Chain A
Amino acid sequence: MKVWIFRKLTVILFIIAAFLLQTTYLDCIRIAHTIPNLLVILVVAFGFIMGTSEGFIAGITAGILMDAMFSEKMGVYALIFITIGYIAGVFAKIYYGNAKLVMYALTFVLEIGYGLYMYVVFYLLRGRLYIFTYFIRNILPSAIYTLALCFLVGPILIALNNKFIQYKRRNDNYFAKLDS
């Protein structure tokens, strides 16, 4: 199978698995009413490590799943997840995929951005103005917790990507030999 198709399928499968975990088992590691946002971690990581197009794939998959289950309007979640994937991809161009610290910082910032977007869509548009309470109670704790989980999940995803790169190199060498 071509490596790039395999990469994209892996991204989709990982996102579906993360969505299932997010809605079921992550509830078990809840601390002080806060659960980490695994989907944001994965979309950022795929966008940052593998590139913008994988970021798009991850964002679209996550967005469609969330829209299907939890949204009354199409595209509300898709918009923010695609944006997250794109921003992560842009940063990958600047910092070159292996800078772990940048990925962690990006996850933290984008999780805060995700929280603010949720606030705007689900609260501000209905005229609820308590941004400060919402920020202290929901956005900040979940961003910190997400960052903590990212320390665990990030290295695994980087290792996975390295496997892909190795595999691709081996394949390239193989074809190069055939040519010569």
Chain B
Amino acid sequence: MNSKIRINNKYKYIFLVIVCIILIGLPQVSDKGPKFLRVMANYTVVPIQKGLSGFSNYIGSQIGKFDTYKELQKENETLKKEVENLNYANQKLSQNAQELSRLKSLYQMSEYYSNYETIGANVIGKGDEDWFNSFVIDKGSDDGIKTDMNVITKGGLVGIVTNTGHHYANVRSVIDDDSNVSAVVSSTGDLCIVKGNINLVEEGRISFDEMDNNDNNIKIGDEVVTSQISSKFVPGLLIGHIAEIKVSSNNLTRNGFITPAVDFSDIHEVLVITKKKEIGDTSGDN
């Protein structure tokens, strides 16, 4: 009797494994199946997730109120000083901006640097990876979010929407090992590819390579932004600042590391850019 049951379970197991492997192997089932599941998840699991994470955010903010009173006072003073400085800087910048807009209209380049329209979204869940390599936001296709839309936060580029449900969407961040972004150094215009790398996640850095080894002098701290030739990222989004640069062993290209502008260990709200870049795949980023 006992051995009979065990054989039974063994066959059951083999059957289930075969089903799984067939599901993985058949692209038609495999790519459409998750869509069906996502619709189901959208009405069952996701609302609860939203509630839970909303509640925890509320508790966190309530707790945060008490222990930060003194910090707030200090911060207030430093901020006041900063405001003065910023006011001054702002005046200068607005003058520059006027000049810039004049020049841009002259060159008809305003399209590239126009303000993108965004949708705000909250982070409601994350994958089982330990950093925010991929996470779930609470807006989906019914809110106007589509696959391949860019996701930013106040600091700069966070990542890209990989798939959507009705009221939620998955985002892959630029520090993910799977992420490749075509970028440009804004001071010199040198193109490069920014790649996430699991070895660097803990140091909070991302790597870049395939930059031409030319005479342009790129300094540490230079801004790196998304490039015009990227097939999926709209141009001009800040990725981070150069932290280290060296010539590759083949002497033709340069590579190094970037400190991202976004703190990836702590993301709560993001903005999704509703403008999508739609050109053929030319730069090899994803």
Contact = CB atoms under 8 A, between A and B. Distances in A.
Interface of A: 16, 19-20, 22-25, 27-28, 30, 33-35, 37, 52-53, 56, 60, 63-76, 78-79, 82-83, 86, 89, 93, 122-123, 126, 128, 130, 133-134, 137-138, 142
Contacts of B170: 69-70
Given A53-B9, A123-B198, A23 B130 contact: no
Interface stretch (B34-42, B89-97, B208-216, B217-225): B34-42
Given A24-B53, A133-B198, A74 B23 contact: yes
Leading 4 A-B pairs by shortest Cβ distance: A75-B23, A68-B37, A74-B33, A23-B125
Contacts of A83: 13, 17
A20 B162 contact: no
Nearest to A137: B202
Contact of B6 (A20, A75, A93, A133): A93
B202 A33 contact: yes
A178 to B, nearest CB: 26
Instruction: Label chain A's interface by main secondary structure.
Output: helix
Contacts of A78: 20, 23
A23 B12 contact: no
A24 B16 contact: no
Interface stretch (B44-52, B70-78, B109-117, B272-280): B44-52
Q: Is the interface of B mostly helix, strand, loop or mixed?
A: helix
A52 B199 CA distance: 38
Contact of A16 (B13, B19, B45): B45
Give the residue among B16, B17, B19 with the most A Cβ atoms within 10 A. Answer: B16
B199 A35 contact: no
B126 A33 contact: no
21 contacts: A23-B125, A23-B136, A24-B53, A25-B56, A28-B56, A33-B131, A33-B265, A67-B33, A68-B34, A70-B127, A72-B34, A72-B162, A73-B23, A74-B24, A75-B22, A82-B17, A83-B13, A122-B177, A123-B198, A128-B177, A134-B198
A74 B30 contact: yes
Contacts of A74: 23-24, 29-30, 33-34, 37
B263 interface: no
B52 A35 contact: no
B198 A60 contact: no
Contacts of A134: 198
B269 interface: no
Contacts of B17: 79, 82-83
B203 to A, nearest CB: 11
A79 B24 contact: yes
A97 to B, nearest CB: 14
A138 B130 contact: yes
B9 A86 contact: yes
A67 B37 contact: yes
Interface centre among A16, A60, A69, A72 (most CB of B within 10 A): A69
B12 A56 contact: yes
A122 B178 CA distance: 9
Nearest to A85: B13
B127 A130 contact: no
Contacts of B30: 73-75
Nearest to B24: A75
B49 A23 contact: yes
A115 to B, nearest CB: 10
